[in-house]
Amino acid sequence: MDILHSVADVRARVAQWRRDGLSVGLVPTMGNLHDGHLSLVHTARDHCDAVVVSVFVNPTQFGPGEDFDAYPRTLDADADRLRDAGVEVLFAPSVDEMYPLGANHTWVDVDGLGDYLCGADRPGHFRGVATVVSKLFHIVQPDVAVFGEKDFQQLAILRRMTEELLFPIRIVGAPIARDADGLAMSSRNGYLSDQERARAPRLQHHLDQARRALETGERDFRELEARTAAALSAEGFEVDYVTVANARTLAPADAGDRDLVIAAAARLGKPRLIDNLALTLPAS
């Protein structure tokens, strides 16, 4: 595996692959990698010949009170894991390489989809995500890009961006990687105390209970949201939101919506955990 730091070097490597007739996959990350990230790499490997993984802590997606400087940088360990996974190129640019003019004045913003769920309390976050991913798409020009379904809103926004900006890239959503007890894998899980870690899988449990209620006929979405949030609060979670949303628009689901996602964000001690479960209701 080669570790490349410049846009020019990545473009040269991809150009060589193209001359050799190879298809290219991209897995964008902010590093501090865990097995969930590696599952994205394995998914990319299933769809293409050569894989680029980017590790870049993107300053434009951090909002007020979110400490960009404190985000874990573990490049050496990340490189070891990616090398073992058979990745061809690790792209680890500097902030100056990705934002060569300093303060950014050109943005990619997907209207609407960022107004709900995590975006409601993080203004500008998804604008920063869409902008940096569009930069990575222009640099790598992959055939396939892989993102995790755990970040359901991010995946929806990047699918829409790719379609509307006519990127010739197939977006692949990788299923949520979970520990044996059901907790969605996340870099944030390392901040849980032992007691909190034992309680954390209850987030997925209560979302699964909500999904079963919908599958067995419950249609009062707002009541179900309130009941699920109350159950989580009773177990020590500080709930940011529990929403039954339209899986396409991410707006709170209305009667008649069939493709749904039950999404939640809640703090347990220091870390903020997110999770979701998607389902399709039967036609009435």
61 annotated to a ligand binding site: yes
6 annotated to a ligand binding site: no
**Residue carrying the six token digits 């006519």:** 166
104 annotated to a ligand binding site: no
Nearest to 132 by CA among 153, 159, 104: 104
d(CA 274, CA 192): 14
187 annotated to a ligand binding site: yes
Give all strands (DSSP E) within the chain, no chain letters. Answer: 2-4, 24-29, 50-55, 89-91, 144-148, 170-174, 238-246, 259-267, 272-280
Q: Are 278 and 214 in contact (CB under 8 A)?
A: no
1 annotated to a ligand binding site: no
114 annotated to a ligand binding site: no
124 annotated to a ligand binding site: no
Q: Which residues of 154-170 are buried (b: 16+ CB within 10 A; e: fewer)?
A: bbbbbbbbbeeeebebe
Going from the C-alpha of 131 to that of each of 9, 100, 148, the distances in angstroms are 21, 14, 18
In the three-class reduction of DSSP (H, G, I as helix; E, B as strand; rest coil), residue 94 is classed as coil
- What is the amino acid identity at position 52? V
35 annotated to a ligand binding site: yes
186 annotated to a ligand binding site: yes
As beta bridge partners, residue 277 has 262
Residues involved in catalysis: 37
List, in order, residues 6 or more apart from 180 with CB less than 8 Å away: none
185 annotated to a ligand binding site: yes
Q: What would the two tokens of residue 277 be?
A: 């479960």
246 annotated to a ligand binding site: no
Q: What is the 3-state secondary structure (H, E, C) of 204-229?
A: HHHHHHHHHHHHCCCCCHHHHHHHHH
188 annotated to a ligand binding site: yes
39 annotated to a ligand binding site: no
36 annotated to a ligand binding site: yes
Binding residue positions: 30-37, 61, 148-151, 154, 177, 185-188
Binding residue positions for (R)-pantoate: 61, 154
Binding residue positions for ATP: 30-37, 148-151, 177, 185-188
Binding residue positions for beta-alanine: 61
